[in-house]
Amino acid sequence: MIEPAGRAERRRASTDAKVVRPRSGIRVPKRVRRIQRQAPMYAMQGLGALALRLKQVTGRDVINLTQVMELVQFAYRQQELARRGPDYAVDDFGFDPQWTESFLTLFTMLYRDYWRVETTGVENVPAKGRALLVSNHAGVLPWDGTMIKTAVFAEHPHPRHVRALVASTFMGLPVLSWFLRRSGQTIGHPDDTRRLLERDELVLVFPEGVRGTGKTFKDRYKLRRFGRGGFVATAIRAGAPIVPVSVVGSEEIYPMIADLAPIARLIGMPYFPITPLWPWLGPLGLIPLPSKWRIQFHPPVHVEENPPEAADDQNLIMGLSDQVRDTIQQGIYHNLKLRRGVFA
């Protein structure tokens, strides 16, 4: 049976037609989408008006609009990075430079406005090539490492990332370990240190380890032993100078008055601090106090001038370790004298 031409054409058209599916989700009206795009501008205008009114009433700046803008930029930057998808570059330690630099906005606010850090001698950090930064360590949580990293990136004429070595205890915690690795930190092991130095990185090490961060307040600014000087041997083998760093201010952010060792052992931590605010205020007790900070980078100790086999000379290693430790301790005393007060 022969099908009529008109019917055949309609059937072919029906067969060739594309299936149009309804769009998923709710279609947002154009006016609402425009308001969504302009919401940040409206928010800033409202906040600006509020800040001006509060200044008229109180006579001072209650709301810092510069800081608010920085936080808005940080939020936008996080959205941009979230849209990168799975194709972004990290090294074999898990370090993501772009993502790390996005947090510099927050860390610089802490550095500049909260702890009001004064940094000297940053020019002693090499503009290129490998170096081992060696610092005192304190403050219960490792904020001193964050501020040293921020100082080198924010104050150095040639900003560089600093790769800090972290105790294995902290690298075993679920969320914190991910954050630490992605922001450039790694476990404090000689092999990892040497690998980073051989890539001409800046590596930050704290020879006091958890013995430094776990000091009670009565022992503040008294350096613990630097062990057997393993950091010196690593620097000699890698051909890297050592830059001593003295930090003042970190001891007062969480004044540790006692350590509940039984609880620490129960939860697998090196210490369980008791401070005037923690654990009495709960999460609020984790907010660090706004002490006044000073960071000093000392001239390099050129241990790389020794031949690699000198790393096996324990007398030389201990002598250089003591030299670095004394430099840091004297720098601490010097900067304590320059500081007018704990919070000033």
Per-residue confidence (pLDDT) for residue 276, from 0 to 100: 93
Place of tokens 């600014």: 221
Question: What 3-state DSSP class applies to 120?
Answer: strand
Backbone angles phi, psi at 271, to 5 degrees: -160, 160
Q: Is 314 helix (H, G, I), strand (E, B) or coil?
A: helix
Splitting the chain (344 residues) into consecutive groups of 10 residues, what average pLDDT does each group show? 52 47 58 66 68 71 70 80 80 91 92 95 97 94 94 95 88 82 89 93 93 88 89 96 97 93 86 92 92 97 95 96 97 95 89
Say what the pLDDT of residue 78 is. Answer: 82
pTM value is: 0.81
**Would you state the pLDDT for residue 250?**
95
pLDDT score at 147: 97
CB under 8 Å to 185, separation ≥6 — which residues? 145, 163, 164, 165, 166, 171
pLDDT given at position 206: 95
Q: Distance between CA 285 and CA 281 in Å, rounded?
A: 5
What pLDDT, on a 0 to 100 scale, did the predictor assign at position 92?
Answer: 87
pLDDT score, position 36: 62
Cβ-proximal residues to 147 (8 Å cutoff; 6+ apart), any chain: 107, 110, 111, 115, 117, 247, 250, 293, 295
Q: State residue 165 phi and psi, 5-degree precision.
A: -95, 130
Q: Residue 15 has what pLDDT?
A: 47
What's the pLDDT at 6?
53
